[in-house]
Amino acid sequence: MTTTRRRTATRAAGLLSALAISAGMLLGTLPAYADEPSGTAAATTEAPKVDLVLDVSGSMRATDIEGRSRISVAQQSIGEVIDALPAETEFGIRTLGATYPGNDKAEGCKDTKQLYPVGKTNKVEAKTAVATLRPTGWTPIGLALRGAAQDLGNGPTTRRVVLITDGEDSCAPPDPCEVARELASQGINLVVDTLGLAHDDKTRQQLLCIANATGGTYTDVRTKEQLTDKVKQLVNRAGETYRVTPAKVAGADACPNAPVLRPGVYSDREKFSEHRVYRVPVKAGEELRASVSVTPDRAVARDYGVLLLATDTRGQELVRGTDAGSGRTDVASTGLRWSAPAADEDATPSPSGKGAATDGVVCLVVSNSFAAQAGVQAEPGLPVELTVDVAKASPSPDGPAMGLGRGWILLLVLTLAGLLAGLLFGWVARWRIAVWREN
């Protein structure tokens, strides 16, 4: 009995070892994917900065947002935004029309104050300061924008002002749209996003003008939830974009005269239903990665789409990315990746773009199918943000280095492992039966 046990155990151990060795050898032949190349992020030089400018003029008493006053809706929304602030964001609050209750317009039009300084936020203090506000005076938007720019200071990265108001400026001069243009011309990387709680055409046009002048967005707010969600989104956007200030670029209508883009982040303006073209140098064995976001910063028709297309210099399509929708959106985005063939690969064009000749240059085409609603200004164009990166190409799944391909090799390993495991378990079963019979 002892001899039988030993003989059977030895065979089982041998089969187990063979299984382990065979699986190890086959798994060892699996070609590992190269580490995913990653772009070099720009060095962080400062925290993201946001200054919220809140209208506390007398008209904010109106009770036309879901049966509540405009100021109470704004206060609740701002409280929720403060609770959700990212830890790294430096946040401040400036008011306009909050302190002067008199009838002297000259005095009332000076009424803008820093309620909470831009910096690390004590959430209890900031929420308490907002909760104590009461609608009071005039609407000096232009002066408040200048104050917000001072609150944020200068620096290499983009700062955001979020303006919440229920009416147009009642104190011009300075005209707030001219102030926005003035700030934009100073090159201080300041973006002003505007949110309107009233819906008259004059207010809408003024807020749209302010946003357009600085590359910001305008939103027509009708509910508390919409206000909260939009302000949170704008605060988060500051955290996503503050590390790199997009370089301004003007796309062309054709590839031969398009601007050349190196890896980086770029901003442009694109008219409704327009296409703009850029060129990106991509060497053999490199991979192009690009993404685009188009922001409908005014009322647009329900059906829309965004296309990012990569072609060679002859216009042949290499790869594309698309995004489409049928409802109001804050941004439409898409992206693409394309690997240039290595120097020793066949350069014959193929349907997938693999191996297509590019003469070392890829043409990026950005198109949109947005349409403005009736009465909405078509100028200036929609804000476009384009991100470009070029990195060493990852191994292609159908390339020669992959042998039969990961899927086939894995299937072979699993098949052999199952066969050897079946043999092993068969020998174990026979051994147990033999032992039972001897006993």
| Residues 217 and 76 occupy one common structural domain | yes
pLDDT at 151 over 50: yes
Average pLDDT of the residues in 354-371? 80
Structural domain count of the chain: 3
pLDDT at 197 over 90: yes
Query: Taking Cα atoms as reference points, which of 234, 194, 198 lies closest to residue 214?
Result: 194
Q: Which amino acid is located at 157 in the chain?
A: T
Strand order from edge to edge, sheet including 264-270: 247-248, 264-270, 382-392, 286-294, 332-339
Contacts of 331 by beta carbon, 8 Å cutoff, 6+ apart: 293, 294, 295, 296
Higher pLDDT, 359 or 124: 124
Average pLDDT of the residues in 202-224? 88
Structural domain includes residue 15: yes
Q: Which of 71-80, 164-173, 185-194, 247-256 has the lowest mean pLDDT?
A: 185-194
Threshold 0.85, pTM exceeds: no
For the chain, what is the mean pLDDT? 80
pLDDT of residue 377: 75
| Residues 112 and 236 occupy one common structural domain | yes
pLDDT of residue 413: 66
Residue 319: pLDDT band with limits 50, 70, 90: very high
Angle between helices 176-185 and 141-152 (to 10 degrees): 30
| Residues 63 and 187 occupy one common structural domain | yes
The percentage of residues in the chain with a pLDDT greater than 90, rounded to a whole number, is 41
Quote the CA–CA distance of 95 and 71 in Å, as a whole number.
12
Q: Identify the top-confidence range among 152-156, 235-239, 312-316.
A: 312-316
Higher pLDDT, 37 or 79: 79
pLDDT of residue 249: 92
Cα distance between the two ends of the chain: 8
Higher pLDDT, 409 or 144: 144
pLDDT of residue 26: 40
Quote the CA–CA distance of 435 and 34 in Å, as a whole number.
51
3-state secondary structure of 142: helix
Instruction: Spell out where 230-303 has E strands.
Output: 247-248, 264-270, 275-281, 286-294
| Residues 61 and 147 occupy one common structural domain | yes
Average pLDDT of the residues in 267-289? 91
Residue 198 maps to which CATH number? 3.40.50.410
| Residues 297 and 255 occupy one common structural domain | yes
State the burial class of residue 275 (Cβ atoms within 10 Å of its Cβ: 0-12, 13-18, 19+). Answer: middle
Count the neighbouring beta carbons within 10 Å of the beta carbon of residue 143: 21
Contacts of 392 by beta carbon, 8 Å cutoff, 6+ apart: 34, 37, 285, 286, 287
Range of the domain at 383: 247-392
pLDDT of residue 224: 94
